[in-house]
Structure 1
Amino acid sequence: MSLDAIRPRGRPAHTPGITVLAYTPNGKKVVTGGSNSAIRIYSVGQDGEPMTVDEGVEGHLGIGATNDSFIMGAEDGTVWQYNLESGRMDKLLVRCALPVRDIDVSKDGEWVAVASDELTIKVVNVEDMTKVKYLRDQAKGAKHVTFDPTGRYVLVSCTDGFLYIYSMLEDEPQLLKKLDGVIRKLEADKEATSRAVWHPDGTAFATAEATRDISIYSTAEWRKEKVFSGGHTGDITTLSWSPNGALLATAATDGQILLWETKSQTVLQRYDFPSVINLSWHPTQNSLSFTTLDGELFIHDDFVPKEYQPLLAKPLQAAPIYGGALAEMSENVMRPLANRPKEPIPPRRRAGTPDSLDDILGSVDGMDDFVEDDDGAGYAEGINSFGKRTNDHLDDPRGHDAKRLMESQWRPRVHLPIQPGSTPWKGSRRYLCLNLTGTIWTVDQETHHTVTVEFYDRELHRDFHFTDPYLYDKACLNEHGSLFSNNPNDGSPATIFYRPHETWTTRADWRTQLPQGEFVKALALSDSYIVAVTSKDYVRIYTLFGTPYKVYRQKSPAVTCAAWRDYIMTIGNGPLGGDGKTTLRYSIENVKRDEIHQNEDVVAISEGTELQSVFFSDTGDPCIYDSNGVLLVLQHWRIQGQARWVPLLDTRQMDRLATGRKEETYWPVAMAQEKFHCIILKGGDRYPYFPRPLLSEFEFKIPISTKPPKTNEEEDETAERNEIARFEESFVRGNILLSLYQDLLSSTNATASQRAELARKELEVDKLLLQMLAVECREGEERGMKALEIVQMMRDRSGKMLTAAVKVAQRYDRSVLEDKIRDLVDKRLMGEEDDELA
């Protein structure tokens, strides 16, 4: 089909001049504004007349939309918010003394950035217009302003040719960079654009150069990475990424719209449309809308040709930065670099894999002469050079291939090393550490890496980043410092580097090298020590300022380690299990006291499950998280031979997943404040990616039982069983947390506040038992024996809770039970042991 056959018709929308447009995030509406006072609201997929709003002022130059409203900025300096359904003018968000040139609404719809001929950019809260942030570092008026997809940055394109980059994470925006040579020097009323347009993954933005090329700049050091060249012959007026970032659409004064593939930076299609001034992709469909200087709106359905539509159907793609077009994020492909050895694959690098089956078959020579079995009948199978059928169809007397493979090539399956909190490479970046203190992430720049350390509490610590020529592949972070290690593949020794956050000397960071041929498998950092388990199964312990403290060899091959204060925990591969996979063994020791609490005990990982992470809780209890989504804590670990793994949460049984509508998993971060802190991974994601995801927290819930099915006939009974199950789970959970706290206090010099907290926890458990007693008493006298058993489990020795239990029995007229509880009260007060039901 020719392009003329599918060419959309122009829809007269406004008088000639600058015409702006915006889709609502749900893609149901497209809103336009122009040089006249009218505002048009088009319903996507309908050819009828648009809704017209005549309340607007003349000269709309900026536009933004949410699903409920849209915002217009005009030449008279006003920025108004309108109701999307009624078109009614709701409120004036901000007024500028000079014309508004551009606006941008943050992705969450909470803030609108306003660029005008004034020297200050205003960022206004949509709900509360009294909340305003000011960007004051510009020397000239601004032509464009844009939020990044996460709302962390605002980019301001000034008429003097400078691009200003602001951080919006603080209450007072901070100027991060002032870049020269990135955009053109353009007056505010020029048709050409100097807008910085963010890639959907938030790691890069595109700008138009004076050479009519398009440059891609990354957020890592804010430098140019790629160029889209050889496209337009006129000044570029607008550009827009497809929603998944796989395609780029641009328009210019040469009268053409170009469709680019971002991975290869090549032009896929050219469309002849003159005077295009703004364009925007539909959020979910293969459709592109654009406006012209003639005041017309075009909605180009099926904009991407059929042969290229698979590119648009892909999930979110990585920005085309860092040493070559990146492969699809879902496939996580990276080919070996030409200046680096391919074998062996270095520990820090992800292995390259072919893109498709065609790549594999294309590398095989000598495939021209073969018999084709075109109809699939199988006559080409087992034919020798004489045209006779061989005996290949018969079973091999030695058994099938799988049997011979098991006999000759079987190998035990071992657990690979784990660095808690780190993710594999995806594109050219990865997280080295994710915890409650902050994050450490690195970007591959081919010849070196750039490492960024970000903190959640920026009042306590400031973010920093540095150029990394050592190519660090492991890292740890806490409130005192950051720790790094690398495993070079060029024959250089492995390095451990520690950098404290604060120091009262000139220089306190240090670096040490391991013996030649020894590599770091896992790192751990505590308030007191640094731990590294190595490829030679050594456990190397250093003080925080680089003094080697201990070196010994693990009894089992190293897998990972964790540390908290003076304690370290190491995990290694142990004997083979029944499934042909090694069991995991752990050891825990107090380094300062030189005491071993647990020695080569078993890590409780069920069959077919992998260890995903290991860490200490904020109170110092070892925890593990497995691939089935179960969080377990180690109880009584300070006593030799008494340790056991107790489940605190099975994420697959959480109420949020009960309906089956949500498809999500959880990336473990920490166990703190008696909650599980994690990152929610949607769909089929296995690892968190950029931009930095938000942390979520969930209450513990011991897997005791599932909710009984609800029926109309037994609705009351079901509610009762649910109540009992809830109390039972709370009681078991309270006992476990109480036990962990008792163990902690028994190993330290408990303070008065800690002893008071222990008493409070004991009282909470007894209160749960009292609630369970009330349920049993309500059900009748036949439940009396269980009710008495519940009373006997109370820890209170003062008699207050037992007296309350007597009152509960009196309330429900359980006289026999009341007498037995009174007898129990007398025995407790006399200090006698009641062993009747022990």
Structure 2
Amino acid sequence: MTINVLRKEAHSEGFTTVAYKTDGTAIITGGQDSKLHVYNTLRSQRNTEPKILDEHTEPVCAIATHRANFATAGEDGTVLIFRNSTNDFEKFLVRSTTPIRSLSFNNNGTRIAVATDENVIRIILVRDISKVVTLSGHTTLVKSVAFSPTSDHMISTDIGGDIKIWDMNHSSGAPQCVKTLPGAVRKCASDADVMNTIAWSPDGAYFCFAGKEHEICVYSTKDWTQKYALEFAHFNDIITMAWSPNGSYIASVGKDRTVVIWDTTNQSDVVKYENTDAISGVAWHPQENELALTDLKGQLLMWYDPINISTMGHPAKKATQEVDDLEHLFEESSTQQASLSNNGGSTRQESLLDNVAQDHDIEEDEEGEELDDEGEDVDMASDMGDFVIDDDGAGYAEEQQQPQRQTTIRNGITGRAIGPQHKITEQATFQPGSTTFRTMDTAVQPPTPLEGERRYMAFNMFGIIYTIYQGAHSIVNVEFHDQAHNRNFHFTDYYHYTMASIGPDGAVFAVEGGKRRKKEEKSNDDEDSREPAGVTPSVIHYRPLMNWANNLEWTIDLPEGENVKSITINESAVIAVTSAGYVRMFTISGLQNHIFRLENIVATAAHGNLVLLVYKNGGTGLNGEQNLEFMLMDTTTQDIIQRGNLPLQKSSHLTWIGFSETSVRQKLKNLLDVFQALMYDSNYVLSILHRQRSFGQSYWIPVFDGKLTAKTLERQERYWPVGMLRDRLMCLIVRGTNDAPYFPRPPVDDIELHMPVINLDTEAGQLEEAHMRMRLISNHDRTEAIATNQQDEYYDVLKEADADMDKTLLRLIQIACRTDKEQRILDLAAALHSSRSVDAAVKVATHFKLSNVAEKLVQIKEEKFMMHDEMLSLSKRSMELDLDDESISSKRIRY
């Protein structure tokens, strides 16, 4: 077997550690030179220089990664938090007087376990470093810690050779040691290269560690007993190990300079590689057939294709042999897809996820809280109680900590994004992506928020706008997910803006009339030089986001008695809905260019050159129907693209509207803008507007059921939508009794869409759902291509989508062949998009000895594709003849 290893000089000689970011986009290494290196994992960029981070002052010993952040620690006694998206340093989490040897995030990234050169373990709440739980029980210095994949348990080792298993959800309310394995690992010095690593299987059913006789001991979590050992491959101490993403393999490295890959099914070594120096770190790529290694020379080794997937299973994928066979039939398509993906297909999505997970308004000491050598223990039960209440670190425990506060959220102009089911009331007006103040001073008429209260005014795929009430003024903060083009900013707001919207080029703010501003409290250098006092008209204010375009800022006062009720912005227009029943449209420069009447508007959302308006057609029906309608409009041409009824279940209401942003834009490097209208209701169902370009033929298709998703995941949570990226819902997760997210800002999660089809718990049901969803997206891309006359630009995208759908259909054909369902096989084959795919279906049918079906499949191929191919060939030949004639004519003219 050919070993394909790329070697890089990374750090100075000595112990070097390595980890992948959880999305596989980068490798992080830390070494004796106190530096961190971040390497791009794209093979096309594997020779580029890494980004170097030098916040540590002494050797780096440990790296832990999670979706939003990665943490590092070392002999300087600090734990540092960095952002995944930018690799920027975020904050100090821990300062210790002793070196830190091991780190481990829990499964949702809200807690981190820290092992220092002490005999205690500290568990720290990432969002609030003052919350520290200390676990005592080890009699010697702790060497390593590791949360289980579900975070129900944690395992630790010490330099004396003991292993302790901790129940993190113990009935007592505090973590408890439930089992000790005395002398299970080799005794070592605290600074030894041997790490006494505990490696968990991805499903949490097993864990493994290096035994005292150079073997790997694999234990079951059912009874905490050993099930088998992997031995006779290493001949010296095992330094560390890692379980493959799908649980099929374990990679171990040792002082004997070898890397051994073990098959956990056969319980034997299957691949062995000998390095020139002892290996000190190992990590599997989360999605690819790839290993990252570091050695005691300070080198990084990228081992490509360590598993021969032609004879063994892929280390990051679970697939049956039959599926693997099908993949070979589409090798070319898969290669094209991988190429597109490697060229940045997911860059925008991952950038969004990583950036938005950060909160720039956490009011805590950025230098962290020093843990002295004595380390006063925090009451364990009370702290773990806080963890249970505030499990995601998003500030939801605030209500119990401050019971005097009122937590009722009023359903006013900003509305309620999501919440518990209530008795049906008339649909309220709301601003998508906004929340209300949590507390209000009811002694003031009208009620005003308490000083220091904050709320989101806009939260979408571009960025976030939130305001902090300060009495005579407010502080408005504008933050962006992608800061490569725009920088965050804030300003003093004397209007107390009540609504806002943010787009790729600008932000717009508005406030109803009747608000008072105090002239004497405006500073001389405030950006708005006007100083009117007393009752003010309703105001619309636009701020460009481009640094060079400050002169494009504008403010408009509405006529007396006319108030802004809803505001939104897209790439070409600012759209304001007013109490006069007017929809006023302005260009980005502030020019009034359109106005029309539309009464009883509930909400507006805009994207690209489109605006979606939802309005009432009469009051709420006696049977609980809201009687809502929608209008989709092109703000450039003022053409109505689509309009119709908004389908809501009885006794439910609309909670959010917006637009999707598909990955066509990403794959083709912003060449195409494809947006699709979305709606989300109080039953937590997300629907998309299908055939939105075909007037009178559109309808809403459900693509996500929040209740079903939470039940499947066995979680008590709800989803507060932010947007959609092709086949993923971008949302904030809300837990407890809260109706909407609060502060500190929780991270944005991406939840895979699943249409609510029947039998989704079966393989066939999952494949049927996947095919329906892919066909839905492809049809939308196709209609957009025709509507915008961009068929050539869409060609590769649509071809790739057809290939993906055919793979899914062929897997369904496999299942139908296994159960001998002839008509279903023929129905599936009729939906295939290429003659090559039908040939693959014939092979599948032949494999299952269904010769009669195979003959009918050949007939389908002839009827569906042969004539099409002949017509295509004739058309191509005709074009060639025409070109030859033109060439001859041009030569004659030149002559």
Structure-2-length-normalised TM-score: 0.49
1:519 and 2:531 correspond: no
1:678 and 2:703 correspond: no
Change (3 A) 1:471 1:785: same
Q: Which residue of 1 aligns with 2:428?
A: 416
Larger relative contact order (Cα-Cα within 8 Å, sequence gap ≥ 6): 2
Q: Unaligned 5+ residue runs, structure 1? A: 1-18, 57-65, 71-83, 94-126, 131-169, 171-199, 207-218, 220-238, 241-276, 289-313, 321-325, 335-344, 351-410, 709-721, 834-838
Q: Which residue of 2 aligns with 1:120?
A: none
Q: Which residue of 1 aligns with 2:652?
A: 609
Say whether the 8 Å CA contact 1:523–1:561 is kept in structure 2: yes
- Find the aligned partners of 1:433 and 1:790 in 2 and give their Cα distance: 45
Cα offsets for 1:709-739 (capped at 9, x unmatched): xxxxxxxxxxxxx221122111211211111
- Find the aligned partners of 1:707 and 1:445 in 2 and give their Cα distance: 50
Say whether the 8 Å CA contact 2:415–2:434 is kept in structure 1: no
Q: Which residue of 2 aligns with 1:90?
A: 190
Give the superposition deviation at 1:832. Answer: 8.9
Q: Which residue of 1 aligns with 2:811?
A: 771
Change (3 A) 1:69 1:702: same
Alignment of 1:42-61 (within 5 A): none
1:795 and 2:833 correspond: yes
Give the superposition deviation at 1:771. Answer: 2.0
Amino acid aligned to 1:645: W
1:741 and 2:781 correspond: yes
Give the superposition deviation at 1:582. Answer: 2.9
Change (3 A) 1:811 1:20: closer
- Find the aligned partners of 2:623 and 2:844 in 1 and give their Cα distance: 53
Amino acid aligned to 1:527: E
- Find the aligned partners of 2:119 and 2:767 in 1 and give their Cα distance: 59
Say whether the 8 Å CA contact 1:525–1:563 is kept in structure 2: yes
2:712 paired residue among 654, 658, 669: 658
- Find the aligned partners of 1:347 and 1:730 in 2 and give their Cα distance: 38
- Find the aligned partners of 2:747 and 2:480 in 1 and give their Cα distance: 13
1:822 and 2:853 correspond: no
Amino acid aligned to 1:814: L
1:646 and 2:701 correspond: yes
2:685 paired residue among 630, 649, 653: 630
Q: Which residue of 1 aligns with 2:621?
A: 577
Give the superposition deviation at 1:808. Answer: 2.4
Give the superposition deviation at 1:40. Answer: 8.3
Say whether the 8 Å CA contact 2:121–2:142 is kept in structure 1: no
- Find the aligned partners of 1:31 and 1:592 in 2 and give their Cα distance: 56
Give the superposition deviation at 1:817. Answer: 1.8
- Find the aligned partners of 1:759 and 1:42 in 2 and give their Cα distance: 53
Q: Which residue of 2 aligns with 1:98?
A: none
Amino acid aligned to 2:471: E
- Find the aligned partners of 1:636 and 1:31 in 2 and give their Cα distance: 53
Q: Which residue of 1 aligns with 2:751?
A: 698
Say whether the 8 Å CA contact 1:203–1:319 is kept in structure 2: no
Q: Which residue of 2 aligns with 1:726?
A: 766
Alignment of 1:748-759 (within 5 A): 748-750=788-790, 752-759=792-799
1:425 and 2:461 correspond: no
Alignment of 1:490-569 (within 5 A): 490=515, 491-502=535-546, 504=548, 507-554=551-598, 556-569=599-612
- Find the aligned partners of 1:346 and 1:761 in 2 and give their Cα distance: 43
Say whether the 8 Å CA contact 1:493–1:514 is kept in structure 2: yes
Change (3 A) 1:771 1:282: same
1:786 paired residue among 824, 833, 845: 824
2:466 paired residue among 428, 441, 451: 441
Say whether the 8 Å CA contact 1:486–1:495 is kept in structure 2: yes
Report which of the two structures shows the higher radius of gyration computed on alpha carbons. Answer: 1
Say whether the 8 Å CA contact 2:626–2:653 is kept in structure 1: no
1:762 paired residue among 802, 820, 827: 802
Q: Which residue of 1 aligns with 2:676?
A: 621
Give the superposition deviation at 1:89. Answer: 6.9
Q: Could you say which structure has the higher helix fraction?
A: 2
Give the superposition deviation at 1:346. Answer: 9.3
1:595 paired residue among 618, 622, 639: 639
Q: Which residue of 2 aligns with 1:477?
A: 502
Give the superposition deviation at 1:578. Answer: 4.5
Change (3 A) 1:707 1:499: closer
Q: Which residue of 1 aligns with 2:840?
A: 804
Say whether the 8 Å CA contact 2:513–2:536 is kept in structure 1: yes
Alignment of 1:87-236 (within 5 A): 90-91=190-191, 203-204=362-363
- Find the aligned partners of 1:643 and 1:550 in 2 and give their Cα distance: 26
Say whether the 8 Å CA contact 2:658–2:677 is kept in structure 1: yes
SS in 1 for 2:612: strand
SS in 2 for 1:419: coil
Alignment of 1:248-397 (within 5 A): 281-285=378-382, 316-317=397-398, 328=404, 331-332=407-408
SS in 2 for 1:631: strand
Change (3 A) 1:659 1:674: closer
Say whether the 8 Å CA contact 1:41–1:52 is kept in structure 2: no
Give the superposition deviation at 1:744. Answer: 0.9
Give the superposition deviation at 1:328. Answer: 4.5
Amino acid aligned to 1:704: V
Amino acid aligned to 1:747: A
Say whether the 8 Å CA contact 2:543–2:550 is kept in structure 1: no
Cα offsets for 1:768-812 (capped at 9, x unmatched): 2222222212222xx21221122222233xx32223322222222
Cα offsets for 1:746-775 (capped at 9, x unmatched): 111216342111122122222322222222
Q: Which residue of 1 aligns with 2:46?
A: none
Q: Unaligned 5+ residue runs, structure 2? A: 1-95, 99-103, 124-134, 144-153, 159-176, 194-282, 284-293, 297-350, 352-358, 386-394, 417-422, 440-452, 516-534, 662-673, 870-895
SS in 2 for 1:762: helix
Change (3 A) 1:676 1:286: closer
- Find the aligned partners of 1:500 and 1:680 in 2 and give their Cα distance: 31
Say whether the 8 Å CA contact 1:666–1:681 is kept in structure 2: yes
Change (3 A) 1:20 1:280: farther
Give the superposition deviation at 1:413. Answer: 4.3
Change (3 A) 1:766 1:201: closer
Give the superposition deviation at 1:547. Answer: 0.6
Q: How many residues align?
A: 500
- Find the aligned partners of 1:826 and 1:589 in 2 and give their Cα distance: 44
- Find the aligned partners of 1:548 and 1:596 in 2 and give their Cα distance: 19
Amino acid aligned to 2:789: N
Say whether the 8 Å CA contact 1:55–1:89 is kept in structure 2: no
- Find the aligned partners of 1:438 and 1:429 in 2 and give their Cα distance: 17
Amino acid aligned to 2:808: L
- Find the aligned partners of 2:862 and 2:833 in 1 and give their Cα distance: 15
